[in-house]
Amino acid sequence: MRQADRDEVKAASGKSPAEALLFSLRKSTLAWTGIIDGRPEVMFGVGDLNILAGIGAPWLLGTDAVEQHYRQFLRHSVSWRDQLLERYPILRNFVDDRNTVSIRWLRWLGFKLHDPVVIGGHVFRIFELRSSDVRYHDGPDGWVDAVGRGRGGAARAGVGGGQSVQRANHGHERPACGSPGEGCD
Protein backbone atom coordinates (compact mmCIF):
# COMPACT_ATOMS: atom_id res chain seq x y z
CA MET A 1 0.00 0.00 0.00
CA ARG A 2 1.23 3.52 -0.76
CA GLN A 3 2.85 5.13 2.28
CA ALA A 4 0.37 8.04 2.13
CA ASP A 5 -2.53 5.55 2.31
CA ARG A 6 -0.85 3.69 5.19
CA ASP A 7 -0.44 6.97 7.07
CA GLU A 8 -4.05 7.98 6.39
CA VAL A 9 -5.43 4.60 7.52
CA LYS A 10 -3.38 4.73 10.71
CA ALA A 11 -4.41 8.32 11.49
CA ALA A 12 -8.10 7.75 10.72
CA SER A 13 -8.64 4.37 12.34
CA GLY A 14 -5.49 2.99 13.94
CA LYS A 15 -5.91 -0.08 11.71
CA SER A 16 -3.20 -1.90 9.79
CA PRO A 17 -3.41 -1.79 5.96
CA ALA A 18 -4.86 -5.33 5.83
CA GLU A 19 -7.41 -4.56 8.56
CA ALA A 20 -8.44 -1.36 6.77
CA LEU A 21 -8.96 -3.17 3.46
CA LEU A 22 -11.04 -5.91 5.09
CA PHE A 23 -13.09 -3.37 7.04
CA SER A 24 -13.71 -1.27 3.92
CA LEU A 25 -14.74 -4.30 1.89
CA ARG A 26 -17.16 -5.50 4.59
CA LYS A 27 -18.81 -2.08 4.80
CA SER A 28 -19.04 -1.55 1.03
CA THR A 29 -22.14 -1.83 -1.12
CA LEU A 30 -19.92 -1.79 -4.22
CA ALA A 31 -16.24 -2.72 -4.33
CA TRP A 32 -13.63 -3.54 -6.95
CA THR A 33 -9.99 -4.49 -7.25
CA GLY A 34 -7.83 -2.91 -9.95
CA ILE A 35 -5.43 -5.38 -11.55
CA ILE A 36 -2.31 -3.93 -13.14
CA ASP A 37 0.00 -6.27 -15.02
CA GLY A 38 -1.68 -9.25 -13.35
CA ARG A 39 -1.32 -7.96 -9.78
CA PRO A 40 -3.98 -6.44 -7.50
CA GLU A 41 -2.73 -2.87 -7.06
CA VAL A 42 -5.78 -0.85 -6.01
CA MET A 43 -9.00 -1.58 -4.12
CA PHE A 44 -11.86 0.84 -4.11
CA GLY A 45 -15.54 1.01 -3.34
CA VAL A 46 -18.37 2.85 -1.66
CA GLY A 47 -20.49 2.27 1.42
CA ASP A 48 -23.79 3.72 2.57
CA LEU A 49 -23.35 6.85 4.67
CA ASN A 50 -27.03 7.85 4.68
CA ILE A 51 -29.41 5.63 2.71
CA LEU A 52 -32.38 8.00 2.93
CA ALA A 53 -30.40 11.01 1.72
CA GLY A 54 -28.54 9.01 -0.95
CA ILE A 55 -25.08 9.68 0.45
CA GLY A 56 -22.26 7.22 -0.22
CA ALA A 57 -18.77 7.17 1.24
CA PRO A 58 -16.21 6.38 -1.50
CA TRP A 59 -12.81 4.98 -0.56
CA LEU A 60 -9.68 3.88 -2.39
CA LEU A 61 -6.45 2.29 -1.22
CA GLY A 62 -3.64 1.55 -3.63
CA THR A 63 -0.02 0.69 -4.13
CA ASP A 64 2.71 2.75 -5.78
CA ALA A 65 1.76 1.09 -9.10
CA VAL A 66 -1.26 3.41 -9.25
CA GLU A 67 1.04 6.42 -9.53
CA GLN A 68 3.26 4.61 -12.05
CA HIS A 69 0.18 4.00 -14.26
CA TYR A 70 -1.52 7.29 -13.44
CA ARG A 71 -2.83 8.04 -16.95
CA GLN A 72 -4.80 4.82 -17.08
CA PHE A 73 -5.88 5.25 -13.48
CA LEU A 74 -7.20 8.75 -14.16
CA ARG A 75 -9.17 7.63 -17.23
CA HIS A 76 -10.75 4.74 -15.36
CA SER A 77 -11.45 6.76 -12.22
CA VAL A 78 -13.85 9.01 -14.15
CA SER A 79 -15.94 5.97 -15.08
CA TRP A 80 -15.82 4.74 -11.48
CA ARG A 81 -16.94 8.17 -10.19
CA ASP A 82 -19.85 8.21 -12.63
CA GLN A 83 -20.97 4.71 -11.64
CA LEU A 84 -21.00 5.74 -7.99
CA LEU A 85 -22.99 8.88 -8.80
CA GLU A 86 -25.63 6.73 -10.52
CA ARG A 87 -26.29 5.04 -7.18
CA TYR A 88 -25.55 7.91 -4.80
CA PRO A 89 -26.45 11.50 -5.72
CA ILE A 90 -23.94 12.63 -3.07
CA LEU A 91 -20.49 11.19 -2.40
CA ARG A 92 -18.75 12.23 0.81
CA ASN A 93 -15.81 11.08 2.92
CA PHE A 94 -12.61 12.53 4.37
CA VAL A 95 -8.97 12.53 3.31
CA ASP A 96 -5.79 13.04 5.29
CA ASP A 97 -4.60 16.60 4.68
CA ARG A 98 -1.04 15.26 4.16
CA ASN A 99 -2.18 13.03 1.29
CA THR A 100 -1.51 15.61 -1.44
CA VAL A 101 -1.68 13.12 -4.33
CA SER A 102 -5.16 11.98 -3.28
CA ILE A 103 -6.30 15.57 -2.76
CA ARG A 104 -5.13 16.52 -6.26
CA TRP A 105 -6.96 13.49 -7.71
CA LEU A 106 -10.18 14.28 -5.82
CA ARG A 107 -10.12 17.87 -7.08
CA TRP A 108 -9.43 16.62 -10.62
CA LEU A 109 -12.55 14.42 -10.36
CA GLY A 110 -14.58 17.47 -9.30
CA PHE A 111 -14.86 16.90 -5.55
CA LYS A 112 -15.06 19.97 -3.34
CA LEU A 113 -12.79 19.92 -0.31
CA HIS A 114 -13.91 21.60 2.87
CA ASP A 115 -11.79 23.42 5.43
CA PRO A 116 -9.44 21.22 7.47
CA VAL A 117 -10.81 19.55 10.62
CA VAL A 118 -8.91 17.79 13.37
CA ILE A 119 -10.01 14.22 14.08
CA GLY A 120 -8.12 12.24 16.71
CA GLY A 121 -5.24 14.72 16.64
CA HIS A 122 -4.82 14.50 12.84
CA VAL A 123 -5.88 16.99 10.16
CA PHE A 124 -8.40 15.78 7.58
CA ARG A 125 -10.54 17.39 4.90
CA ILE A 126 -14.08 16.36 4.14
CA PHE A 127 -14.60 15.96 0.41
CA GLU A 128 -17.94 15.92 -1.39
CA LEU A 129 -19.34 15.60 -4.90
CA ARG A 130 -22.96 15.88 -5.98
CA SER A 131 -24.18 14.34 -9.21
CA SER A 132 -25.69 17.70 -10.14
CA ASP A 133 -22.19 19.23 -10.03
CA VAL A 134 -20.81 16.89 -12.72
CA ARG A 135 -21.89 18.04 -16.16
CA TYR A 136 -21.20 16.73 -19.63
CA HIS A 137 -21.77 18.52 -22.88
CA ASP A 138 -24.25 16.37 -24.77
CA GLY A 139 -23.95 17.83 -28.24
CA PRO A 140 -25.89 20.80 -29.58
CA ASP A 141 -28.94 20.05 -27.40
CA GLY A 142 -27.38 20.92 -24.08
CA TRP A 143 -25.84 19.54 -20.95
CA VAL A 144 -26.61 16.60 -18.71
CA ASP A 145 -25.39 15.69 -15.25
CA ALA A 146 -23.58 12.48 -14.32
CA VAL A 147 -26.81 10.46 -14.14
CA GLY A 148 -28.37 11.71 -17.37
CA ARG A 149 -30.59 14.48 -16.02
CA GLY A 150 -30.91 17.53 -18.20
CA ARG A 151 -31.45 18.28 -21.85
CA GLY A 152 -30.14 16.20 -24.67
CA GLY A 153 -30.28 12.61 -23.42
CA ALA A 154 -28.08 10.30 -21.47
CA ALA A 155 -24.76 11.26 -20.00
CA ARG A 156 -21.65 9.84 -21.58
CA ALA A 157 -18.47 8.94 -19.77
CA GLY A 158 -16.04 7.92 -22.47
CA VAL A 159 -13.28 5.82 -21.00
CA GLY A 160 -10.39 4.52 -22.99
CA GLY A 161 -7.49 2.69 -21.58
CA GLY A 162 -4.38 0.69 -21.97
CA GLN A 163 -4.28 -3.07 -21.96
CA SER A 164 -2.40 -3.50 -18.70
CA VAL A 165 -5.32 -2.51 -16.43
CA GLN A 166 -8.17 -4.84 -15.55
CA ARG A 167 -10.95 -4.64 -13.00
CA ALA A 168 -12.32 -7.46 -10.89
CA ASN A 169 -15.75 -7.16 -9.24
CA HIS A 170 -16.10 -8.42 -5.68
CA GLY A 171 -19.60 -9.80 -6.21
CA HIS A 172 -21.33 -6.45 -5.86
CA GLU A 173 -23.70 -5.33 -8.60
CA ARG A 174 -21.72 -4.03 -11.60
CA PRO A 175 -18.05 -4.14 -12.42
CA ALA A 176 -16.21 -0.89 -12.99
CA CYS A 177 -15.41 -1.87 -16.58
CA GLY A 178 -16.96 -4.71 -18.56
CA SER A 179 -17.74 -8.03 -16.91
CA PRO A 180 -15.90 -9.46 -13.91
CA GLY A 181 -12.35 -10.24 -14.93
CA GLU A 182 -12.58 -8.42 -18.27
CA GLY A 183 -10.12 -5.72 -19.19
CA CYS A 184 -11.08 -2.07 -19.44
CA ASP A 185 -9.80 -1.54 -22.98
Single out the residue of 143, 54, 57 nearest to residue 92, CA to CA.
Answer: 57
Of the listed ranges 45-49, 60-64, 79-83, 152-156, the one predicted with least confidence: 152-156
- Do 83 and 119 touch, CB atoms closer than 8 A? no
- The mean pLDDT of 136-153, rounded to a whole number, is 50
What's the confidence (pLDDT) of residue 156?
35
φ, ψ dihedrals at 51, nearest 5°: -65, -45
Q: Render pLDDT for 60-92 as a digit per residue (tens, 0 to 9).
A: 999 998 888 888 888 889 989 999 999 999 999
Q: In angstroms, rounded to a whole number, what is the distance separating the alpha carbons of residues 85 and 89? A: 5
Q: Render pLDDT for 110-129 as a digit per residue (tens, 0 to 9).
A: 999 999 999 999 999 999 99
Q: Is 85 helix (H, G, I), strand (E, B) or coil?
A: helix
Domains of the chain (ranges; CATH) run 3-162 (3.40.630.30)
Burial readout 43-62 (b: 16 or more C-beta within 10 A, e: otherwise): bbbbbebeeeeebbbbbbbb
Per-residue pLDDT band at 163 (split at 50, 70, 90): very low
Query: For residue 43, what are the contacts with CB-CB under 8 A and spacing of at least 6?
Result: 21, 24, 25, 31, 32, 33, 34, 60, 61, 62
Residue 173 has pLDDT above 80, yes or no: no
Taking the complete model, does pTM exceed 0.85, yes or no? no
Q: In angstroms, rounded to a whole number, what is the distance separating the alpha carbons of residues 18 and 116? A: 27
Single out the residue of 70, 133, 55, 76 nearest to residue 104, CA to CA.
Answer: 70
What distance lies between CA 162 and its chain's CA centroid?
19
